[in-house]
Amino acid sequence: MSRGSIEIPLRDTDEVIELDFDQLPEGDEVISILKQEHTQLHIWIALALEYYRQGKPEDFVKLLEAARVDGTLDYRDHEKDQMTCLDTLAAYYVQQARREKNKDVKKELLTQATLLYTMADKIIMYDQNHLLGRACYCLLEGEKMEQADAQFHFVLNQSPSNIPALLGKACIAFNKKDFRGALAYYKKALRTNPNCPAEVRLGMGHCFVKLSKPEKAQLAFMRALELNPKCVGALVGLAILELNKKEADSIKNGVQLLSKAYTIDSSNPMVLNHLANHFFFKKDYSKVQHLALHAFHNTDVEAMQAESCYQLARSFHVQGDYDQAFQYYYQATQFASPNFLLPYFGLGQMYIYRGDRDNAAGCFEKVLKAYPNNYETMKILGSLYATSNDQEKRETAKGHLKKVTEQYPDDVEAWIELAQILEQSDIQGALSAYGTATRILQEKVQADVPPEILNNVAALHFRLGNLGEAKKYYAASLDRAKAEAQHDEHYYNAISVTSTYNLARLHESTCNYHGAEQHYKNILREHPNYVDCYLRLGCMARDKGNFYEASDWFKEALQINQDHPDAWSLIGNLHLAKQEWQPGQKKFERILKQPATQNDAYSMLALGNVWLQTLHQPTRDKEKEKRHQDRALAIYKQVLRNDPKNLYAANGIGAVLAHKGCIREARDVFAQVREATADVCDVWLNLAHIYVEQKQFISAVQMYENCLKKFFKCQNTEVLLFLARAYFKCGKLAECKQTLLKARHVAPSDSVLMFNVALVLQRLATSVLRDEKSNLKAVLSAVKELELAQRYFSYLSKSGDRMKFDLAQAAAEARQCADLLSQAQYHVSRARKLDEEERSQRAKQEKEKEELKLKLMQEQEEKRRRLSEEQRKLLETRAQFVEKTKGLLVFSERPESQREKRKGGGGSGKRRKGADYEDFVNDGSEDDLPTARKKKQRRASSSEGEGGDGTDGERRRKRGGRKARSRHQSGGQDDGAPRSKKPRKQPQKKERQRKEEAKGERLSAAMMKKVKSKAIISSSDDSSDDDALKIADEGGKASGSASDSDGDEAPKQQRQRLVSDSESDGGGGQSPRAPSDAGSRRSRSAHSSSEDEGGRAGRDDDDDDDGGRRGGGNSDEDEEDAVGGAPAGRRRRGNVDDDEEEEAAVSGSERDGSGSPPASVRSASPVDSADDSQ
């Protein structure tokens, strides 16, 4: 089937040449025909497009290039054809540049396209097709996205339904991460033309994925595949959705989709990268490398190239080819977009492998910036910064590792890293972190604690001074290392050597020098090159004062390493200790000559100290002194330049300033150093020296004393001498003397100390002798001290050290002491006379004091005798009252009218009758009651039965509520008898009978006058049950002393109860005894029952009011019965034998310990019955 033809008009004729599209000649032949016939430009363009459609791009380009020059433009609207020619050729160049791999060729093609579009702009600038083509070109370049967006926007303003413009806007919105906007443009294009190609659906699917709508994305991709089964992008999109489900079947489906896409387009870089990722997890690294490399060479999109390089890098990484891995990781970071951070993570690991910690930290910082809480990144950064010399980075590491341990508390490695960081600043925190790591290892991991951790824990305890704990952990570390030695003998033997050395240091700190020496020498037998052991043995010998032996050990270390700076430093310090300044100076200068230690801070400070020490030697050469000051100052400044935080250098600068006389500046320097650290002894001493120079002696003394306490376990003669000097300058000679004597105990042969002691003794003696108020003892002591000072000065003037003090001055001081001793006899006689006067005066005062003391003792004895006599009389009076009140008491009955008034006044009418006598206690024997009354009591007791008293009754009253109250109201009944639900009223006949008997048993008028009542019941008509309970409780708990206080208020009450004195003595506070026979039938008065209950309630910490009301509460009606007309026949089983009751009644207060006099007797309740058994 013919695809058509085109006619070419012949010049100057009406004939045409027809060219069939199916049989187009060569491009050059067509060009010659077109040129010969001066053919119009639009025919050139049509033929060029046909050649392009037939896959002949070379002829296409030749025709368009020739058309630009030879095409005829002498017809209408030729400008549009001219623009189309330029735009078409430019679009072709843009398309070729998009496919070109060579960057130079690509750049050249894009340059040609730019020139063509620029030429087209000059012909017709605002043509839609021209603008669309130019916008696509700008979009392809990537850097001109805003320009492309403006051109698409211009086209849409002219034609809102222009599909290429809509698709261009969608692409731009997607790249700007405006996924909703991009989706809207795709939807508008689809609504404008529902038959859009599959790529529109593909774009919508990508938007749905970014908007987290995987279901809609899947539908879009499936629709794209329906429109174009070979749409590779849709296949890859579906495959990724399936792989993200992380299920076995979905992963299988995803891989199948990728394989299908690979079959369709084996050079698609996106497909190749995803397949490489799949084979990486299948550990088929050769396929990973093949696919990723193929993808890299088939794309010029940097994001895809970055992905390909990353796949290659991690495949080499996992195979251990770190050089290749480093190369591809680095290349991936060059191509990667800012959001693709995986290559940086791998590159950081490669930098760590290469030892480049700074670049490694930079890579991980980029990852952490994008993912602030990423666990692995924080852990790696914490580990990197932990070993940094920068304090700020160490603090950063501490923060990262703390976050890691908070997110993953069981990460042992993180805890160990954190502990290692904290070792430098927070020893206790480091111990805690090590403890957590140890616990996790033992409990969670079920593993033994490594010997390294045990050794570190021991070292931390050693630094804290916990030497016992340190020793225990060192021993555990050694045991663990020996046990693990079978797995890696060389490694664990090295750990054993370290732990043994640390254990030797521990012995050295505890002054167990023999044990430390044995450990050091044992290490040297196995490891003769262990230099630190030689150094420690030398230090131990030095501390013992054996300088020559110490020097030999240090030289042994130098034989192993001739340039060992520590050995040379220790030898130099030996020279300085012996004040051999020049040899010591040479040793430190030798250290500084070595290239590795040319900036050694310790050696430079030692040299500065040597020059500073020369300033303290007496010299008259001011120029020499100034040179030495400048040299010392220069050295200290050099140390500070190398290490701005070196405190010792700052301290040295302060010392030089002080020597120059700049006291205020020196003080400021020392104060700043002391603020920075309180662990440098020299700073404290220098600051104290400054205080002395400024005459602030109190501050100086405090500083010296604090320095002694803080830095020296034993007395230091140098610091003691400084302290004594401060005391001497401030005039405290006694304290100065004591301080110098302490120093003399440490160094008895020190001539300087001897001179100072003699001088202080002389000054003290002089002050004592000149004081006319000094006593004899002080004067004699001063004379002896003056004689001792003279002997000291005489000795020093002949045998003293000329380098330390002037011997002539010692002789002059000795002569002065002799002059003072010549005047001593006068001072002694004066002091003796003064002492005798004081002694006589003191004897006189002592005599007067003894007389006054004797007089006071006599008065106190007389007072004590008088009180004893009064107490004896009170006891006799009480005994008489007890004898007189052993008879029965009969209480007068209230008037009937008053009782009726009380009944109407308030209070509950339903109450047990046993409560009538609840507030009354009897101390007398119940045998004194008349026989008839005893019989009534037996009958009442038998009717009351088991329920009238005892603990069971109390419990039932507390639990039983109304039943218990009903039982008491009815007079009680046997436990076995049936109980009625309502309380039965006593027959009126029995009530009257009991009242008659009560009247008959009333006391005579003579006896009534001898009875004293103290317990008072409130006369209020509406007193509540609670008030009655309180009175009952008081009756059960009151002692004789309590009744005294009640008796003072008796006149204020409206009515009284009458009771015997013996009652208040014995029954008021006496608790019931345990029953002697559970089955015996002993009865007591009705009040005894209620009192026992009230007393027991009081002892049980005041049971609740309801229980009290049920067990012992009395209302106004009860009070009326109790005072006037209560029946005497009520009784219950007793808990105490009669003899015991009598004993309790008579002597209860003595057993209670109240000691109340019998005059203060409190009446609680009457006694109603006696024991029937008698």
Q: What DSSP letter does each residue of 826-862 carry, written as one string?
A: HHHHHHHHHHHHHHHHHHHHHHHHHHHHHHHHHHHHH
Give the integer Cα–Cα distance in Å for 549 and 551. Answer: 5
Lowest-pLDDT choice from 67-76, 603-612, 627-636: 67-76
Residue 837 lies in a domain: no
- pLDDT tens figures, 1158-1174: 333 333 333 333 333 33
Cβ distance 480 to 454 under 8 Å?
yes
More confident of the two residues 1172 and 93: 93
Give the integer Cα–Cα distance in Å for 330 and 785. Answer: 88
Position 476 pLDDT exceeds 90:
yes
Residue 794 lies in a domain: no
Task: Tokens for 1056, please give them.
Answer: 């009284």
Q: Would you state the pLDDT for residue 911?
A: 39
Of 821, 708, 698, give the one whose Cα is nearest residue 769: 821
Task: Tokens for 791, please give them.
Answer: 């002997």
Under the banding of pLDDT at 50, 70 and 90, the label for residue 704 is very high
More confident of the two residues 1052 and 567: 567
| Alpha-carbon distance values, 619 to 203, 582, 626, 633, 660 (Å) | 95, 17, 11, 19, 15
State the virtual CA torsion across 107, 108, 112, 113 in degrees, nearest 10. Answer: -30
Q: Would you state the pLDDT for residue 991?
A: 52
Position 434 pLDDT exceeds 90:
yes
**Side chain identity at 307, as an amino acid letter?**
E
Task: Tokens for 67, please give them.
Answer: 């058309």
Q: Residue 1134, class by beta-carbon neighbours within 10 Å (0-12 exposed, 13-18 middle, 19+ buried)?
A: buried
The pLDDT mean for the chain works out to: 77
Position 1036 pLDDT exceeds 50:
no
- pLDDT tens figures, 1067-1105: 434 333 333 343 333 333 334 333 343 434 344 444 444
Under the banding of pLDDT at 50, 70 and 90, the label for residue 1146 is very low
Position 997 pLDDT exceeds 80:
no
Under the banding of pLDDT at 50, 70 and 90, the label for residue 631 is very high
> Within 10 A of 34 (CB to CB), how many other CB atoms are there?
23
Give the integer Cα–Cα distance in Å for 129 and 150. Answer: 15
Can you give the C-alpha Rg of the chain in angstroms?
59
Mean pLDDT for the stretch of residues 527-548: 94
Residue 432 lies in a domain: no
Mean pLDDT for the stretch of residues 669-693: 91
**Strand 5-9, strand 1083-1085: pairing:** unpaired
Cβ distance 792 to 757 under 8 Å?
yes
Position 906 pLDDT exceeds 90:
no
Q: Would you state the pLDDT for residue 920?
A: 37
**Side chain identity at 902, as an amino acid letter?**
R
Cβ distance 703 to 692 under 8 Å?
no
Q: Would you state the pLDDT for residue 196?
A: 87
Position 856 pLDDT exceeds 90:
yes
Q: Would you state the pLDDT for residue 995?
A: 52
- pLDDT tens figures, 376-391: 999 999 999 988 888 8
Number of domains the chain contains: 1
Sort residue 943 into left (φ over 0), alpha (ψ -120 to 50) or beta.
Answer: alpha
- pLDDT tens figures, 189-198: 999 998 888 9
Q: Would you state the pLDDT for residue 126?
A: 79
Give the integer Cα–Cα distance in Å for 962 and 964. Answer: 5
Q: What is the DSSP string of 120-149?
A: HHHH-SS-HHHHHHHHHHHHHHSTTHHHHH
Position 168 pLDDT exceeds 80:
yes
Q: Residue 967, class by beta-carbon neighbours within 10 Å (0-12 exposed, 13-18 middle, 19+ buried)?
A: buried
Residue 1114 lies in a domain: yes
Task: Tokens for 68, please give them.
Answer: 């630009």
More confident of the two residues 936 and 829: 829
Residue 926 lies in a domain: yes
H-assigned helices in 265-374: 269-281, 285-297, 302-318, 322-335, 342-354, 357-370
H/E stretch holding 17 reads strand 16-20
Q: Would you state the pLDDT for residue 1011?
A: 46
Q: Would you state the pLDDT for residue 887?
A: 60
Residue 206 lies in a domain: no
Residue 178 lies in a domain: no
Domain range enclosing 937: 893-1152
| Alpha-carbon distance values, 170 to 139, 161, 165, 176, 350 (Å) | 12, 13, 9, 10, 40
H/E stretch holding 1085 reads strand 1083-1085
Mean pLDDT for the stretch of residues 39-54: 84
Cβ distance 930 to 1001 under 8 Å?
yes
Of 762, 768, 764, 721, give the one whose Cα is nearest residue 741: 721
Mean pLDDT for the stretch of residues 81-95: 86
Position 278 pLDDT exceeds 80:
yes
Give the integer Cα–Cα distance in Å for 325 and 438. Answer: 36
- In percent, the amount of the chain with pLDDT more than 70 equals 75
More confident of the two residues 893 and 621: 621
Position 747 pLDDT exceeds 80:
yes
Position 116 pLDDT exceeds 90:
no
More confident of the two residues 1080 and 220: 220
Give the integer Cα–Cα distance in Å for 730 and 837. Answer: 34
Residue 716 lies in a domain: no
Under the banding of pLDDT at 50, 70 and 90, the label for residue 466 is very high
Task: Tokens for 1026, please give them.
Answer: 């609670």
Mean pLDDT for the stretch of residues 583-610: 93
Q: Would you state the pLDDT for residue 654?
A: 94
Please give the model's pTM, rounded to 2 decimal places: 0.55
Cβ distance 307 to 288 under 8 Å?
no
